Amino acid sequence: MIRVEYGLNREQEEFRRQVCDFLSEDRVRKLVDEVRHRPPRAEPGLLDVYRWLGERRWLAAGWPREYGGLGLGIVEKSLLTEELIRHGVPDLVHIVSIDIVGLIIQMVGTEEQRERLLPPLARGEWSASVLYSEPGVGSDLSALRARAEPDGDGWRLYGRKIYSLKSQFADFALCAARTTESEVAVHGITLFVVPLHTPGVTVRPLPSISDDAFCDVSLEGIRLTRDDVLGPVDEGYQVINKVIPVERTGLEFQAKARRLLDLIVRRLGELDGLEEPGVAERLVELHGQARAAELFSWRVISELSEDRLDDVGTAMAKWYATELFKRITHAGLELLGLEATLSAHDTDAPYDGVLEAGHRDAPGFTLSAGTSEIMQYLIASVGLQLLS
């Protein structure tokens, strides 16, 4: 039996309340409405709401004050992420820049790198992305072919990265490249900070089924120095592998699942569909599963706040939340019918097409930060020891 014990103290509850009040302001609601009604392929990048949050030091509330935060912790950071999602604010730039890139810089960056890169991210003035996956390689970093060739006291970076999100808006990216050939595939990979607005870097957005395009990034001999190396040379794989489990709290996925379920219930209520045979029972079951996903993710967050990391627990949280999101999108289509297929660009779409967009997003959620199959393998092999 899994025990989940977490709770918010008075200060954390107050922080959540203040964030909710801010995200309910007219200027924020106006921005969210504008984003939802943009033309096709006009996806959002940096938003004014990030800058407004940065002015309060909320955007990176868990970071130390000297880097633009409030010196709080992962709980407050997670509360902000939950509320952004619940209020419909596009969160991907925030998650990549603050929760992924910012975390890595804090963990392994030099003091100079932290002082140079973190404050603009925390103020909502810069954004960042990651350049890991490559054509024909996918997420198998040990097989990457991008290379950093020695050039005096630095390197020249060559290669092509694909499936990168929001790189067309980013100021810099974290790029994994091979610096040393080795019989051990995971050795010899180094993590670099790559400025994206510089000669030698070409970013091409690639359409996807999601509202957010992937990016194809070509690196053609850009010169990098030791100051651009993040963490130890040749040990970038170990750095990335150390951080990836922290990305698997399942927080954003369970928050999106809960928001989608709430909208389905509200719409069924508007259509007097809650009294249909079997509907209430199905919604109650999904509600219970959404609550379980929330408890899974907050258990992970609670452990991280105590500097404990359970790879199996994070795999369970991520797998359960993303698979639940997919089930909820299917339920929405089955219970609401054709209107759940209307996009934000159709004036008759309920809730600005959020239901339709969720159906397109669901496959990507089960791939991001580790596929469902990899999560199940970790659970089975490490957690249940079924494959030993």
User: pLDDT tens, 224-244?
Assistant: 999 999 999 999 999 988 888
The boundaries of the domain holding residue 361 are 248-383
Low-confidence ranges of the chain (pLDDT < 70): 1-6, 138-139, 388
Q: Are strands 154-165 and 201-206 parallel, antiparallel or unpaired?
A: unpaired
Q: Note whether residue 100 is domain-resident.
A: yes
Distance CA 247, CA 244 (A): 5
Q: Domain check: are 230 and 141 in the same one?
A: yes
Residue 131 sits at φ, ψ, to 5 deg, of -125, 90
Closest CA to 209 of 366, 37, 363, 377: 363
Select from 126, 141, 161 the last residue of a domain: 126
Q: What pLDDT score was predicted for residue 5?
A: 45
Q: Domain check: are 66 and 179 in the same one?
A: no
Q: What pLDDT score was predicted for residue 153?
A: 92
Burial (CB count within 10 angstroms: exposed 0-12, middle 13-18, buried 19+), residue 172: buried
Distance CA 100, CA 242 (A): 12
Distance CA 176, CA 193 (A): 9
**Residue 210 is part of a domain; what is its CATH number?**
2.40.110.10
Residue 77 sits at φ, ψ, to 5 deg, of -60, -40
Structure token digits, residue 283:
């919604």
The pLDDT tens digits of the residues spanning 191-203 come to 999 999 999 999 9
Q: Note whether residue 5 is domain-resident.
A: no
The pLDDT tens digits of the residues spanning 345-365 come to 888 898 989 999 999 999 999
**Residue 277 is part of a domain; what is its CATH number?**
1.20.140.10
Q: Note whether residue 286 is domain-resident.
A: yes
Q: Note whether residue 340 is domain-resident.
A: yes
Q: Domain check: are 67 and 102 in the same one?
A: yes
Q: What pLDDT score was predicted for residue 2?
A: 39
CB count within 10 Å of CB 310 equals 16
Helix intervals (H) in 91-191: 92-94, 103-108, 111-122
Q: Note whether residue 341 is domain-resident.
A: yes
Q: Domain check: are 275 and 295 in the same one?
A: yes
Select from 97, 126, 155 the last residue of a domain: 126
Q: Domain check: are 272 and 355 in the same one?
A: yes
Select from 100, 126, 152 the last residue of a domain: 126
State the total domains in the chain: 3
Q: Note whether residue 300 is domain-resident.
A: yes
Distance CA 81, CA 234 (A): 33
Q: Note whether residue 330 is domain-resident.
A: yes
Element (H, E) at 231: none
Q: Domain check: are 271 and 354 in the same one?
A: yes
Q: Domain check: are 107 and 200 in the same one?
A: no
Contacts of 130 (CB under 8 A, 6+ apart): 96, 100, 101, 164, 173, 174, 175
Q: Domain check: are 217 and 261 in the same one?
A: no
Q: Domain check: are 320 and 376 in the same one?
A: yes
Q: Domain check: are 57 and 90 in the same one?
A: yes
Q: Note whether residue 242 is domain-resident.
A: no
Q: What pLDDT score was predicted for residue 61?
A: 96
